[in-house]
Structure 1
């Protein structure tokens, strides 16, 4: 199954029979706002005999329209103060699902546009929601021949708009595959190979580090997490390095660390009472970053350089497992006392960020990000929303606010969290033997400031703390916790969302 194909349709006659499309799916805030008279008349007539029309997604017999099918899917609570552009996404998914059930294979999506601020991106948001609706798990696609699938979706957009949407959806499709696949099929080596295959014949530079000696030398914290997995070849860790560099002058530089814990048992501090289920999804950060790189490779935006490092590791249990109380020196030379082996993601990210820090120091307008399904606390705080924790340099430049505005406009809303002095107090090693404590020994979900203080640890353990506002080389850094937003529906086995790929892409471009 390839990503859904969006086709630009410039001729409004595409709504009629004989155009090659086999259904018309209308997403609208009101029957009165439908732009096409033929559709408006049919919808109004339908509402006279079926009260559901305009209140829920409904299928109408529509002679003369494409495929003889008209599906009207309303945006509910459009005028509500608390509704946002995701209302268009919800309506598009319901309408597309109904079209598929009715036998349509090439529906035309018509979005009654609103130019009001919060709905200004309603058309692309609705289109991308169709991609989310249609994605099916990689294991299912590999085991069962897929039939009766949607072949393409027509959109009343320009060729360039369709190209951008297809590129974004290609990246999101890759991210969902990487995040949502079970831990053997998408082990660290398989994840790395899946990326290599996805990036083949593109403009991206790709390198995979797998040699144990190199990993232990250059990524000591990551290698500690992976220590018990080295004995099993199919579970051994990988670091995937990916770079996009535009032709011509580079005006802005971006650096991404992606957490790719392909399975998290908790390690020696083992997850109990069913807490291990769903932990094959602990690689959502690396998956989203990989998807972002895929999108960039297709669109080739000008003026930017983007460098990503994906830390792929299985946090296994065994006699070789690292344990709480160990002191391990990070790549940045910071002595880290392990507070809990189930707080492994921040260890992986710290080494990645240290490497990226060295690359970013002399680059123009550099910004660094870590993207991770990091804490249960962020879910307790914000439910299904992403959280961003900025360093003071990023906050001074309004990076988090920009990400929040873009996320709101594109249907990936996020919350801003403030880094405080109390967060640094939490990472002090009481013994004084280590420079920093990785975590306390309680679950983040019951720890005050459980998703904020890991950002303080990442700044200290990666060496980024030395690049604050008053330093000679200040660096923008934002930590993006997607533990609540990486999956929709069932928290263990729901569909991956690829968040925050869309918002990050808009920020870059």
Structure 2
């Protein structure tokens, strides 16, 4: 079935560039047109960010700036919390907050977003950066803050007539009042932060790519060019016809109308002697018209973002490979296609057979994400041989109801495993990317039962608990011994007013993989 394989020893000759009409050719290297400045610096080109606690009575002796500036900063101590102050003459910016917020990675992520505006303000004028976070007792918050700061400081000009290279400053120091960080640890923190920031930027550029640029063939070309750059990374892939021949009728029912068909992309990273298998499955609908269940003109405009899950799992595993994490086995499966309309498109009311043999009545062609994920989940469950020491996390912009329920800052978590839940909650706490566990109520399974097939792809009555019934549908395609979680990221994936990809989930999945594998990084 999957005869096309690629590893580091295989020459890549068909990694074609991403072609755009009237826009210069953009290849995978340009997607990361970023340099971290390594030149020597002086004080005139340095910018400083301070995160200070009201509760620290000794703060005046621990702020790492000169006395004249320290006095200026301390005058603002009683001002409104979380406000950002600036002394522009010295390129100095600081925020007062409370001790609890400083220890909250979610708050640090928010401050990184706010501080990034000032980093963008000075652009190439800044060669070095100094960061001080008061009261923290471990180095992890620095990695979280720095990786997000770098990412939020990035502005893409890929589709502008004049493209601009982005230069990030070299970190010359980061410190805390209660923590001493060795030079070795500093280098490791910085390198990890850089690589996770680059993964977030990779994801952002993939998600924001127009649908005439980032279709499934070009996505695969990009992956084929990236995989050989890293050790212990392997690629297997197949097209929609190979998937159909293997029995993936659910995936094929969506991809059959797409001009470029579909691609199942399976990337594996394996090093050392891993004790667990971790799988990441991502929905990759490069453009979602809704099919014959056509979307409205307003909602269709953002549907290039419907491949966020595929971009997330791909970018995450490439980041893990770049960090060369030891004793770990991670699989990323991305299912890429467009939900298009033509004479080949699947009609509402059609019945298809999924990879696990179950039949599905397609009542709504705009509920296509769960169809492609269904075959992807069965595929990876088979790869894992339904092992109880295996974990699968699927991520998808699946239901608009999730955004209504949890808004734009929290992703919905549906799972069959309390054990996996505890790992994911710890990863959420460490990353500052919020999740909330939603119920999987067994009684609601009756809502996805079809009268003429095994299942229907939407609930057969209202009210239909649409996010939950979507998750219950996916659960039908997961091996019964596997720890499984579904993350519905429809609400958290982009900033609505700006239609800007947030690259939500890179830090969460990175932390989750470390937690699940028992790896300390």
Q: Same fold (TM over 0.5)?
A: yes
Coordinate RMSD, CA, aligned: 3.1
Q: Structure 2: how far apart are the matches of 1:321 and 1:87?
A: 46
Select the structure that is richer in strand: 2
Aligned pair partner of 1:255 in 267, 279, 284: 279
Residues 164 and 377 from structure 1, CA distance in 2 versus in 1: closer, same or farther, beyond 3 angstroms?
same
Displacement, 1:212? 2.3
Which residue pairs with 2:257 in the alignment?
228
Asked whether the 8 Å contact 2:38–2:170 carries over to 1, the reply is no
Q: Structure 2: how far apart are the matches of 1:129 and 1:341?
A: 37
SS of the residue aligned with 1:293?
Answer: helix
Displacement, 1:434? 0.7
Aligned pair partner of 2:225 in 175, 197, 206: 197
Displacement, 1:220? 1.6
Which residue pairs with 2:108 in the alignment?
88
SS of the residue aligned with 1:318?
Answer: coil
Please give the TM-score of this superposition, normalised by the length of structure 1. Answer: 0.83
**Mean Cα deviation higher: 131-140 or 381-390:** 131-140
Displacement, 1:75? 4.7
Q: Structure 1: how far apart are the matches of 2:151 and 2:96?
A: 18
Q: Structure 2: how far apart are the matches of 1:505 and 1:194?
A: 21
Asked whether the 8 Å contact 1:4–1:152 carries over to 2, the reply is no
Q: Structure 1: how far apart are the matches of 2:458 and 2:308?
A: 21
Asked whether the 8 Å contact 2:396–2:487 carries over to 1, the reply is yes
Q: Does 1:420 align with 2:444?
A: no
Asked whether the 8 Å contact 1:224–1:322 carries over to 2, the reply is yes
Q: Does 1:450 align with 2:478?
A: no
Displacement, 1:407? 0.8
Displacement, 1:251? 0.7
Q: Does 1:360 align with 2:390?
A: no
Displacement, 1:224? 0.6
SS of the residue aligned with 1:309?
Answer: strand
Residues 269 and 158 from structure 1, CA distance in 2 versus in 1: closer, same or farther, beyond 3 angstroms?
same
Q: Structure 2: how far apart are the matches of 1:25 and 1:106?
A: 14
Asked whether the 8 Å contact 1:252–1:303 carries over to 2, the reply is no
Residues 410 and 33 from structure 1, CA distance in 2 versus in 1: closer, same or farther, beyond 3 angstroms?
farther
Asked whether the 8 Å contact 1:188–1:237 carries over to 2, the reply is yes
Please give the TM-score of this superposition, normalised by the length of structure 2. Answer: 0.81
Displacement, 1:269? 0.3
Which residue pairs with 1:65 in the alignment?
none
Displacement, 1:303? 2.0
Q: How many residues align?
A: 468
Q: Does 1:33 align with 2:64?
A: no
Gaps of 5+ in 2: 1-29, 175-184, 515-521
Gaps of 5+ in 1: 63-68, 468-473
The 5 Å alignment of 1:81-480 reads 84-102=104-122, 104-115=125-136, 121-137=140-156, 139-140=158-159, 143-146=161-164, 149-156=167-174, 158-203=186-231, 204-210=233-239, 212-215=241-244, 217-229=246-258, 232=259, 235-247=260-272, 249-361=273-385, 365-384=389-408, 385-391=410-416, 394-395=417-418, 397=419, 399-429=420-450, 431=451, 433-440=452-459, 447-460=463-476, 462=477, 464=479, 467=480, 474-480=481-487
